[in-house]
Structures are given as structure tokens and as C-alpha cells.
Amino acid sequence: MGDLEERVKRNENDILRERLDTLASDVKELKTKKGVLSAFKDLALILTPLIIAGIGFYATYSIKGALEREQLQLSHLKEMRELMVKLSSPNTELSEAEATAVLLAAFGPPAIVPLIHELQADSLNRPLAAQEGLKALAFSNQKMTCEKLSQVLRSRTRLFKWETHKNVIELLSDMDCTDGLTVLKEFKTILESPGGFEKYSNLVRQAPDQKNFDKLVDKVKTAIQTLEK
Amino acid sequence: MKSIRSFSITFQAILFSFLLLLFCNTAPTQTIDCSGSSKSGNYQVYLDDLSYANVSLSNDGQLQNLMKRLSFKLASNVHALTLESTPIPLTVAYCEGRKPRGEGDFSENLVDALDDNNVILELWGQLDATTQNGSISNRKASICYVLVPVLLDEFKNPHKPGLQFALYPKDANIQSGELINLLEESIELEAFVAVGIGVNLLKNKKYDEAMKYLCKAQIILRQQHTGIAEVKQNALNDYIKQAVHKTVIDARSDPNYTGSLIDLVDENNPCP
């Protein structure tokens, strides 16, 4: 009996020790987990203000940048406006008008549309000056300028004059706008199709006479030849 | 003999080019837009301002008087031509403040743009004189003409038949008071306008009318008493001769043409 009691006690002790070991390891595990959590917590405490500061800085910077860009564009527009007024003045001499157009080209892409518009002017000097400005743009923004010029030839809305078409054809060739080849070929097809003169006359604001129509055909042929070389 | 003649022609060309530069290049350039220009599709003659070769000459009463009379005479001479019946009306565009210097101001692009606007002739004048010890003498006038379609066609021709000038008086002994009378007798203006109209008509495939105007110009320029230099006149005559020949050839090869040029016997000399 005494033996049995002793064995039972020993077993109970073993069980208790095992439980204690388990408990001890659980507590140790818990302690480790808590350490990681608290480390995360501490890190979060440090990072949160930094992240907020970063976001704040980025937002301020980007808004400020956008505002500055807007202001710059506005001041550019004001300067461009002054140049445009000078360019369109009937008292501006040709060489001065050309210099003004080249200066206008220094503003980059925003100058493309005003210069194309100048090609349309009912004037001798303004379209000539605008051509110089657009040629200057070929150095800095060739692709975009070529694309906008090609749009002029694509238009079928009687928005443009035949003189503008003539100047655009010459510019596409002078500026080496190889992307403009397709539109030039389409344009040539219209001009050389049966009844091409009448068809073309319906696409422009004022119909050219036969002499100027023939001139246009010659220009488009020369431009295609130049670009295909 | 041939080489002497060729040297003489070259010398004349150089001399007259020099004179052209001298008389058409001394005043400050001002190639502003022509305010009187129109987009009507009419043939246009640009009449630019007259100017003094030297600013100090502007105080000379006789030159001032000459300037007024010359301006009026030129304007009325050009205006008289517009009264003639032409296939497309001819108008004068008074270009106030426009004072080209000469050849240098007329780039191929500018000439092409003038041609686009049906400008057939642009002219301007300059008054000059010799100033010595405060006294002014030897007053003279030069009229510069740009025959737009001719200059465009012959841009690379060294004799520049499209660029003409007339110097008055041709004889240095003639008094400046007689300048206006000389201008009155000048017939070159009529010839220049006729060439411009003729070439435009040819390019518009109006062969019979083109022939009429080109022949008119040829007949006028055959006369001896034009105010222009012989070498320039010859270059222009050669150009007109070629234009006349081209008119016949183009007319005959045009399937839509049914006029009298088809049956012409002497295609090299179709003008009377």
C-alpha cells in the first residue's frame, strides 16, 4: 500500500512538473510575443509622425509646385501675349517679326498653336515670320510640332486657307517630319484625283486659282520626295 | 570680238548691279506689311513709299517738291493702268511706310508669298543728290521695280530680270525739274505690268490672253527709250521670249485648249 501511495505521489509530481514546464514555456512564449508587439507599437509611435510629416511635405511640395507651374505658365502667357501683339502689328518689320516668332518658339509647346494660327493671318509678314518660329521649334519639340502641323492637313472643315496648307507642306518637309508622310500622301491623292481642283476647293476657306493650285501640287510632290530620301 | 562683247556685257551687269545697290540700298529698310493690300484675288501693284537716299536731303525744297510730284505721277501712272480692261481686275495697293532696300529684302519665300497674293509688281523710289559745301546739285531719282512672277521664276538668274530699276535723268545734263517729264514718257511701267499679267495668265492656262499681254510687253520693250539699263532689258526680253514660246507649247499640249495657237505657223515668233 505504501508503495502504491508513493508511486501515485511520484506520478502526480511528474504531472505537476510537466504542467509547470509547459506553463513556464507558455509564459516565455507570451513574453516573446509581447516584446515583438511592443516593439511594433514603439516603432509605430516613432514612424507615425514621420509618415504624417512626409505626406504633409509631399502634399505641400506638389501643391506648391503646381501653383508655381501655374504662375509660370501665366507669366509665360503674359510674355507670349506681348510677343504676339508685336508679331501681329502691321508696323512690325519682317526681320523683327521673324525674330519675335523665334523668341516665341523658346516657350516650347505652348507656342505651337499660336504660331500655326499666325500662318493663317491675312498678312504678308506674319505667316513668313510664323514659319521661322515653327522651324525653330523643330529643334526643341519636333515631334509635337510635326503632329500639330499634320493635323492642319488632316482637317476637312474649311477652317484653313490654301496658303496655310502650302506653308504647312513646306514646313513638314523642312522640319523632316517623316511621320507626316502619310498625311502628305493622302493630301496628294485628293489633289490628283479626278476633279481634284473642285474637291480641294471645297476643303478650304477660299479656293485657289489654277496657278496656285498647281503650285500646291508641286509643293506636296517635292515634300514627299524630300521626306522619302 | 566675241570675248570683248561678253566682257562688255558682264561689265555692264556689274556696273548696273552696283548702281542698283547704290540707289536701292542706301535708305534704312522697312519691309512692313502693305496696309493697302487686299485678299480679293485681283492682280495687285504694290506702290511703296518714296524716300530720300540721305536724311539730310529731306530739307531740300526742290527735292521735297520733286518727291510730291513723283509720288503723284507714279500713283497716277499705275492707276491709269488699272482702268484698262484686264481678265482679272488690276488694283493699286498703296503701301504706306513700306520701303524695301532692294534685292536683299526679297527672299524666295517673300517673293512666293507676294505671288500667292497675286502681286504682279512692287515699286518704290528714291531721291538722291550731290551735296558739296552745303549746296545740293545733281538731283536724281531712281525707281526700283520687282516683277514678282518673273523674279520667282528666275530667282537664280544672275541678271535678275525680275528686278529692274530706272535711273532719272539718264543724261546728267538734264535739270532735275525735267525729271517728271521723263517719267511721263517712261513706258517701262506698262511693260512690267503686262509681263506680270501675261505670266499669271499663262500659269492659269489662259493661253490666248497670256499671249496678248506677253506680246504687248515684248513690243514695248523693243523700243529704245525705256528708262532701264540695256543689260537688264535684254535679260527681261529673253525671259519674255521664253514665256511666249512656253505659251505656244503649253497651249498645244493642253487637250482642253481649242484656240488659235494650235494653227500658229511660226511658234518661235508668234508676236506681231
Could you tell me if residue B272 is inside a domain? no
How many CB atoms within 10 Å of residue B88? Answer: 17
Test B203 with A95 for CB contact under 8 angstroms: no
Could you tell me if residue B26 is inside a domain? yes
Q: What is the mean pLDDT of residues B166-179?
A: 62
Q: Out of A73-77, B141-145, B153-157, which region has the weakest mean confidence (pLDDT)?
A: A73-77
How high is the mean pLDDT of chain A? 91
| The pTM of the whole model exceeds 0.80 | no
Q: Out of A179-183, A221-225, B85-89, B146-150, which region has the weakest mean confidence (pLDDT)?
A: B85-89
Number of structural domains chain B divides into: 1
Predicted confidence band of residue B208 (pLDDT cuts 50, 70, 90): very high
Test B116 with A128 for CB contact under 8 angstroms: no
Predicted confidence band of residue B26 (pLDDT cuts 50, 70, 90): very low
Closest CA to A76 of A100, A101, A110: A110
Rounded CA separation A48/A35 (Å): 20
Contact A193, A159 (CB under 8 A): no
Predicted confidence band of residue A99 (pLDDT cuts 50, 70, 90): very high
Exposed, middle or buried: residue B41 (CB in 10 Å: 0-12, 13-18, 19+)? middle
Chain B residues near residue A123 by CB distance under 8 angstroms:
33
Test B113 with A127 for CB contact under 8 angstroms: yes
Could you tell me if residue B270 is inside a domain? no
Test B32 with A210 for CB contact under 8 angstroms: no
Q: What is the mean pLDDT of residues B100-109?
A: 87
Could you tell me if residue B186 is inside a domain? yes
Test B110 with A94 for CB contact under 8 angstroms: yes
Q: What is the mean pLDDT of residues B46-52?
A: 88
Predicted confidence band of residue B21 (pLDDT cuts 50, 70, 90): very low
Could you tell me if residue B269 is inside a domain? no
Could you tell me if residue B221 is inside a domain? yes
Test B116 with A210 for CB contact under 8 angstroms: no
From A122, A125, A214, residue closest to B203, measured CB to CB: A214
Compute the Cα dihedral for B166, B171, B173, B179 and give only its sign. negative
Test A125 with B41 for CB contact under 8 angstroms: no
Contacts of B143 (CB under 8 A, 6+ apart): B74, B123, B124, B125, B165, B166, B168, B183, B227
Which grid coordinates are listed for A43? 516603432
Q: What is the mean pLDDT of residues A56-78?
A: 84
CA distance A73 to chain B (A): 31
Chain A residues near residue B106 by CB distance under 8 angstroms:
none
Residue B170 structural domain: 2-263
The answer to whether residue B113 neighbours chain A at the CB level (below 8 Å) is yes
The answer to whether residue A124 neighbours chain B at the CB level (below 8 Å) is yes
Chain A residues near residue B246 by CB distance under 8 angstroms:
none
How high is the mean pLDDT of chain B? 81
What pLDDT is attached to residue B7?
52
From A123, A131, A209, residue closest to B204, measured CB to CB: A209
The answer to whether residue B203 neighbours chain A at the CB level (below 8 Å) is yes
Could you tell me if residue B196 is inside a domain? yes
CA distance B204 to chain A (A): 5
A180 or A13: which leads in pLDDT: A180
The answer to whether residue A122 neighbours chain B at the CB level (below 8 Å) is yes
Residues A7-50: pLDDT tens digits? Answer: 888 888 888 899 899 998 888 888 887 777 788 888 888 888 88
Compute the Cα dihedral for A211, B212, B235, B91 and give only its sign. negative
How many residues are there in chain B?
A: 272
Which of B33, B49, B152 is best to mutate for the A interface (most A CBs within 10 A)? B33
Provide the ipTM. Answer: 0.79
What pLDDT is attached to residue A150?
97
Could you tell me if residue B29 is inside a domain? yes
The answer to whether residue B263 neighbours chain A at the CB level (below 8 Å) is no
What pLDDT is attached to residue B51?
85
Q: What is the mean pLDDT of residues B118-139?
A: 85
